[in-house]
Amino acid sequence: MSDSQHPAALRPETDVLTRGFDPSLSVGSARPAVFRSSTYVFSSPEAAERAFDIMGGRAERTPEESVDLVYSRFNHPNAQILEEQILPLEPEAQAAAAFNSGMAAIMTTLLTVVRPGDRIVYTVPIYGGTQTLIQGFLEPFGVQGVAVAGGQGEAIDAAIRATPNLRVVLIETPANPTMVMTDIRRAVKTCAAMAEPPLVMIDNTFLGPAFQHPLALGADVSLYSATKYLGGFSDIIGGVALSKDISLMNKIRSKRSLFGNILPPDECWLLDTRLPTVHLRMNRQSKNAQRIAEALAKHPKIRRVYYPTLFEDPEQTRIYREQCTYPGGLVSLDLAGGKRAAFDLLRNLQIARNAVSLGGVETLACHPRSTTHSAWSAKDLDEAGIGEGLVRISFGIENWRDLLHDFERALDKV
Ligand SMILES: *Cc1c(COP(=O)(O)O)cnc(C)c1O
């Protein structure tokens, strides 16, 4: 957006540094203090009564009203600061909730809206914990999951139209580890045409918040494992849910109060310090990944590189171009020599370390078939393209020439 259109609107990288924190509430400190108190002293008995009325849903907070804090399982200043400062990073978000893990964000958001008898359509592959949550936990409680292959627009439309009592469409895009992309706008449109439109929730961990903006594409909730790019240093477990719908977020927050899975003050403070650099880090990670993915695409020991700029399917390329601004820091390499070659590569890398997880400033590589996806059947793995030779890499911010050299040298030993 140009300055002439919105003179007052700050861009995300600026806004994240200028909102949500009032130094005068922290003895003038330039950065937020950590408020480790478990409970808060009320300004008056009337203010306490008012805070409980609002919390209990018996009264509505007025826009300008400042409500007394009560107890840190419900809310605390560091969560408030984090939830305010993260908003500009997710275009169109009006409210956020911080959780003590990505799984907590996903679980709490789903349990806020589903009831026994409801159904959830979800794309596969999906994060293993999410799949177990739906199949192994929600199904016995009477909430049925309907799995559809990611990227298959028509099949997803058909599932949305054919599933009775559909409450949620949960999409993870791109999918791990083959980067298959699902068209968010298309799913939103199909849902909006239903008599009772289900909520569209996007697990935006892989390309957000820098390169993919689900709320701006019409989704209802954007979900994150903040453990990954938001946290960025592989030293924190956290999660965030964001939405345009303030009343939905209040419902999610009230379930969070009940479950007790708010992100604690120290972790909120730590995550808050990482927000202003998430664009810098992700841009560097994406540039590194793209240079190396494209340099290795023709390597004789590599059968195929899974990366958005190297997609072979025109429909996947279309979704990538319309939905994402950059390809991101995750690359999967399919080695011609199978499992042995993949293990040799992992054993011989000197800069990249063999670990699961992603999004940190350091480069990590893993073998999905024997680790993150080891619970899958051989048939499902083969169908999803998760072969014996597949290695997934999360590129960090090291110098890309050093990284490329590390991979070329390790490939020589395969
Ligand atoms: C890691 C991850 C999760 C789970 O997040 P935690 O912070 O480990 O609970 C969910 N979705 C995706 C895509 C992830 O990568």
User: Which pLDDT tens digit goes with each residue over 336-389?
Assistant: 999 999 999 999 999 999 999 999 999 999 999 999 999 999 998 998 889 999
Give the three-class secondary structure for 390. Answer: strand
Band of residue 9 on the pLDDT scale cut at 50, 70, 90: confident
The CATH number of whichever domain residue 155 belongs to comes to 3.40.640.10
2 occurs within a structural domain: no
Residues 199 and 129 in one domain: yes
d(C-alpha 143, C-alpha 120), whole Å? 7
Token pair for residue 291? 């240079």
Residue 332: DSSP 8-state: E
75 occurs within a structural domain: yes
16 occurs within a structural domain: yes
Residues 53 and 113 in one domain: yes
- Choosing from 235, 253, 277, the residue where a domain stops is 277
pLDDT over threshold 80, residue 222: yes
Residues 48 and 86 in one domain: yes
- Model pLDDT, residue 1: 35
Token pair for residue 242? 């964001």
Sorted by sequence, the CB contacts under 8 Å of residue 214 that are 6+ apart come out as 184, 200, 202, 204, 208, 222
CB 339 within 8 A of CB 388: yes
The CATH number of whichever domain residue 340 belongs to comes to 3.90.1150.10
d(C-alpha 178, C-alpha 201), whole Å? 21
Residues 256 and 372 in one domain: no
Sorted by sequence, the CB contacts under 8 Å of residue 202 that are 6+ apart come out as 170, 171, 172, 173, 184, 214, 219, 221, 222, 223
Distance in Å, CA 129 to ligand 1 centroid: 8
Mean pLDDT of 252-278: 97
Residue 208's domain comprises 12-277
Distance in Å, CA 356 to ligand 1 centroid: 11
359 occurs within a structural domain: yes
29 occurs within a structural domain: yes
pLDDT tens-digit series, residues 321-332: 999 999 999 999
pLDDT tens-digit series, residues 241-259: 999 999 999 999 999 999 9
3 occurs within a structural domain: no
Band of residue 234 on the pLDDT scale cut at 50, 70, 90: very high
- Model pLDDT, residue 2: 40
**237: Cβ below 6 Å to ligand 1?**
yes
Strands 302-306 vs 330-335: parallel, antiparallel or unpaired: antiparallel
Distance in Å, CA 225 to ligand 1 centroid: 4
Residues 108 and 227 in one domain: yes
Residues 273 and 287 in one domain: no
218 occurs within a structural domain: yes
- Model pLDDT, residue 20: 85
Residues 282 and 265 in one domain: no
- Model pLDDT, residue 8: 65
- Model pLDDT, residue 3: 41
Concatenated DSSP letters of 81-108: HHHHHTGGGSTT--EEEEESSHHHHHHH
Our mutation pick for probing the ligand 1 site, out of 103, 124, 132, 181, counting the most ligand atoms within 8 A of Cβ, is 103
Going by alpha carbons, the residue nearest to atom 2 of ligand 1 is 225
pLDDT over threshold 90, residue 116: yes
Residue 272's nearest CA partner among 98, 151, 390 is 98
CB 134 within 8 A of CB 168: no
- Choosing from 277, 305, 326, the residue where a domain stops is 277
Residues 336 and 401 in one domain: yes
Averaged pLDDT of the chain: 95
- Say what percent of the chain tops pLDDT 70: 98
Our mutation pick for probing the ligand 1 site, out of 127, 176, 236, counting the most ligand atoms within 8 A of Cβ, is 127
Strands 239-243 vs 95-99: parallel, antiparallel or unpaired: antiparallel
Residues 284 and 273 in one domain: no
Residues 262 and 290 in one domain: no
pLDDT tens-digit series, residues 121-159: 999 999 999 999 999 999 999 999 999 999 999 999 999
Burial of 117 (0-12, 13-18, 19+ CB in 10 A): exposed
Residue 234: strand pairing partners: none
- Choosing from 259, 277, 295, the residue where a domain stops is 277
Distance of CA 185 to the CA centre of its chain: 18
Residues 340 and 352 in one domain: yes
Our mutation pick for probing the ligand 1 site, out of 204, 205, 206, counting the most ligand atoms within 8 A of Cβ, is 205
Strand ranges of the sheet holding 166-172, from the earlier edge strand across to the other edge: 95-99, 239-243, 221-225, 199-203, 166-172, 119-124, 144-149
Instruction: Report phi then psi at 279, rounded to 5.
Output: -65, -45
Residues 261 and 388 in one domain: no
pLDDT tens-digit series, residues 19-39: 888 898 888 999 899 999 999
Concatenated DSSP letters of 168-199: EEEEESSPTTT-----HHHHHHHHHTSSSPPE
Domain count, the chain: 2
